[in-house]
Structure 1
Amino acid sequence: LGDTIAMISFKIPIKSILLYHTKEFVVSGASVLAVFLICIFCIYKIHKKNETLKMQTQLLMINQSRLALMGEMIGNISHQWRQPLSQISSTLINLELYNERGKLSKERLEGGIKDAGEQVKFMSDTIEDFKNFFNPNMPKKEFNVSEAIEQARKILNASLKKHVIDISVRIEENFTLYGNVNELIQVLINIINNAKEAFLDVPLKRREIKIRSFLKQGERVITIENNASRIDEARLGKIFEPHFTTKQQGSGLGLYMSKMIIEKNGGSISAANSDEGAIFTIAFR
């Protein structure tokens, strides 16, 4: 036999599909190895191409989600600024009236300037909060979860007030995580916004979101529970899928992005129905 390690047979149709001739070729070991290596190389290239395409698709979804969130945040800034701008305008009008009547004392002027300064500082702090949230170069570090929750509340404050939604927080002392704090803030914003949308469809006297943290079987757990409507069981297993949404103008990327972020940081996220509504559970080992 020598170097002959394989016999390959194939049929070639000639003149008629019912008439075949069979040819047998003797293939050397070197030829089989070359064909095998070429096949492996082709499979590798196809796999790499699919991986690159998958990564590009995920990056596109991330950008779409961030842009949608940016648009909503700009709307929140306008709501946050409305009250302090109104307060500043009212202060200036009062100072002008007192001045016209000759009753503008030094104390009244200083008081008006102080009030206006406090409102301007509030507006400046609001911009700083949003700027920090969208900082792409935020390094990974140990952070307190309560700070991330408070930051998410501040960013969504105007929207929550507008829709009369209360948030109660009970976080264990020194409950910390390691990672990018902005990513957890984004996840919290996505889940709170999801609850807000659910509240708008249900007439309730009291709209409440409860955020809790605790240790369970070696895991650091955060739960976000709302008392809006329960999630339909048929949809419950799909809510973290990309582009799945029940909203008319929703992108279906918020919860999908939240799942990607949590899993990228070695955690897990799940959703379930509770007695009053829905509960989202985030767990890190």
Structure 2
Amino acid sequence: MPLYFTPYILVPLLSAFVNAGLAAYAWKQRTRPAATALCGVMVALAGWSFCYAINTASTELWVKILWFRLGTAFVTLLVPYVLMLGCETAGCGAWLSRKRLLLVTLPLLITTFCTVTGIAPELSRHDFHLIHTHGMLLLGYTDGPLFHFHVIYVLLANTAAITLFATGCLRAAPPKRGRFILLILATMLPMAVEIFSLTPVKGFSMVTSTLLASGLLYTVAVLHLRLLEFIPVGRGTFTDLEARLQESEQRYQLLVANMFEGVALHQMIMDAEGHPVDYRIVEVNDQYEKILDIPRRNVMGKLSREAYGTPVAPYLEIYSRVVQEKKACRFDVHFSPLDRYFSISVAPWGELGFATIFTDITEQKRAEEQLRNLNTSLEERVASDTLIRVTQERVLARQARHAAMGEMIGAIAHQWRQPLSTVSVIVQNMAAAWKLDRLSREYVDQALEVAQKQVAYMTSTIEEFLTFFRPDKKKDQFSINDKILESLAFVEGQLREQGIAIVTGDGFALPHRAVGYQNEFRQVILNLLINGRDAINERLMHEAGIHKEAGVIGIDVTSSPDSVIIEITDNGCGIPPHIGDRIFDPYFTTREKQGGTGIGLYMSRLIIEDGMSGELSYQSEPGRTVFRLTLPVAESE
């Protein structure tokens, strides 16, 4: 498409650019009243200007005709949208329904169709030709009656729009009339140029050039005077709208006045570079005065630094971010000038404004601080008490272990008595054999073998003793039956010597397993066996001189789907009811004269209940006591 350059196309092109930009802005604001109508007007002006600029710059006749006809279509588009804009601004947008809008536009649609398609050219614009003038190549033509009608109809539609703008201007309050005056001027300028044929060069139309001025006037009305924000919604009269606005304002005032929270409206203040430097207090409610104890007259219209007596605007960074990002936020803060805590909600309000809703949370914050201090003190006390308790339990565990070791040493001494006697006899026999000259190699080997067996037995007893009191590091599965037998092995000799029989129940013949600390478990069994032995001996001592029932300690183990129960029964003296609740207390004993420490049962319960998640309980009556250990059953491997 051959083109040439002429300065006369710059203004139409600039007009197209300005009007297209405003059309895009109006499209983004299309949810507001009259924004769609304004967008249509701007699209029509931008398209008309661009088409005429290309028409002027082209060098071929058919190209000029094509762009002329396209420009005529944009002129037709202008009519319905400028009437829509006029009706919206005048408050009678409801009158201009789609049906009426189509009827108003129908004559133009007919004339435009004839112009664009070339039907009945003698009635429309025809006889197109090129004109060379003032260094330009322009389109010459002859207008028919139908095209004259088209131009007049467009002028009449714009006149109607001007009338509607004037009506809105008369009804509006004086501060709001400026935007209507700009609309009237923007519409009248192209009309005046067209009516009076104002042009510097014959054949060149200045109408599209004046559309630049129209676009600028529209831009000022929209961006500076905020036309789209204050334009009335075309669903009723101005009186109805003012009544609704007044009612809405009364509701707002009633709502704000009766709020328990303080409310303040602010306007952000910017410096020359557009950076926030302060904010002005625009409006406050009654609760603002009550909460802050600051009279309204002392803050209204003042900058925050002046109102609150601070060197910088309080929380300016937070408020400016709300204004710039248009996102509400909430924060709790301590306001130093008043030495009080506040919970503040912030929301954007208008272009550079923001609203704050706040409550005084000073009492709540101070109560929280007191609670934190109390919790800290309580945690320190708990930590201290826990440390003392752990230390005491360690001491008790050590004492219990020492007491059990004393019992074990006695048991070992009893077990060593027979092996030592055997070794002593072997030594004596070897001395006698030497004197009688009967000490042969075979005799020495045989004696040495017997002695080594006795020493090996004594060594294994010591190793069992050392293993027995070695604390376990982790929980393991173990055989309950084996551990009971290992504990029993240490005292079985003593029990037999004292005439106490060990009887196992039917359940003991079956294998049973548990999870826990096996060495500690053996200590518990040993403690219970020793307690049973002492109880039987005490009963036998009290029955001196009468028929005595032989001492018996019974051991049985039973299982359920989720637990294992070990029962150790003795036919001793029993536990008197008045001390039954105290037998698991540390240092409680009824055998102080016999060397009792009172920590065996206490440590046994700790091991079973705290260490192995089980339970240790008892039942007792004169002549019979049962200690029952309940442990979680081990999962099958």
Measured against the shorter chain, the TM-score band is 0.7 to 0.9
- Name the residue aligned to 1:154: 489
Displaced runs of 4+ in structure 1, greater than 6 A? none
| Greater Cα offset, 113-122 or 153-162 | 153-162
Q: Does 1:93 align with 2:449?
A: no
Q: Does 1:224 align with 2:513?
A: no
CA contact (8 A) 1:213 1:222 kept: yes
Question: 1:225–1:33: structure 2 CA closer, same or farther, 3 Å change rule?
Answer: closer
- Name the residue aligned to 2:530: 193
* Aligned equivalents of 1:109, 1:116: Cα separation in 2: 10
- Name the residue aligned to 1:130: 465
CA deviation profile, 1:173-211 (whole Å, cap 9, x unmatched):
221111111111100111111111112212244211111
Percent of matched pairs sharing the same residue: 28
Amino acid at match of 2:591: K
CA deviation profile, 1:76-121 (whole Å, cap 9, x unmatched):
2222212211110101111221232123344433321121111101
- Name the residue aligned to 1:8: none
Amino acid at match of 2:393: Q
* Aligned equivalents of 1:120, 1:259: Cα separation in 2: 37
Instruction: Summarize the alignment of residues 260-279 of structure 1 with structure 2, pairs less than 5 Å apart.
Output: 260-264=606-610, 265-273=612-620, 276-279=623-626
- Residue 617 of structure 2 aligns to a residue whose secondary structure is strand
CA contact (8 A) 1:271 1:280 kept: yes
Unaligned 5+ segments in structure 2 are 1-289, 293-339, 342-361, 541-547, 633-637
- Name the residue aligned to 2:291: 2
Instruction: Summarize the alignment of residues 1-285 of structure 1 with structure 2, pairs less than 5 Å apart.
Output: 1-2=290-291, 29-137=364-472, 139-170=474-505, 171-203=508-540, 204-216=548-560, 218-248=562-592, 249-264=595-610, 265-273=612-620, 276-285=623-632
Larger Rg, first or second structure (1 or 2): 2
Larger relative contact order, structure 1 or 2 (CA cutoff 8 Å, min sep 6): 1
**TM-score calculated relative to the size of structure 2:** 0.39
CA deviation profile, 1:3-45 (whole Å, cap 9, x unmatched):
779xxxxxxxxxxxxxxxxxxxxx6554443333222211222
- Residue 2 of structure 1 aligns to a residue whose secondary structure is helix
Amino acid at match of 1:260: L
CA contact (8 A) 1:129 1:155 kept: no
The answer to which structure has the higher strand fraction is: 1
Unaligned 5+ segments in structure 1 are 6-26
- Name the residue aligned to 2:81: none
Deviation at 1:141, TM superposition (A): 1.5
* Aligned equivalents of 2:604, 2:439: Cα separation in 1: 55
CA contact (8 A) 1:172 1:214 kept: no
CA contact (8 A) 2:554 2:570 kept: yes
Aligned length: 265
* Aligned equivalents of 2:591, 2:390: Cα separation in 1: 27
CA deviation profile, 1:204-259 (whole Å, cap 9, x unmatched):
44211111001146321000001112221222232112222111232111011111
- Residue 136 of structure 1 aligns to a residue whose secondary structure is coil
CA contact (8 A) 1:169 1:211 kept: yes
CA contact (8 A) 2:572 2:624 kept: yes
The answer to which structure has the higher helix fraction is: 2
CA contact (8 A) 1:143 1:178 kept: yes
* Aligned equivalents of 2:536, 2:467: Cα separation in 1: 29
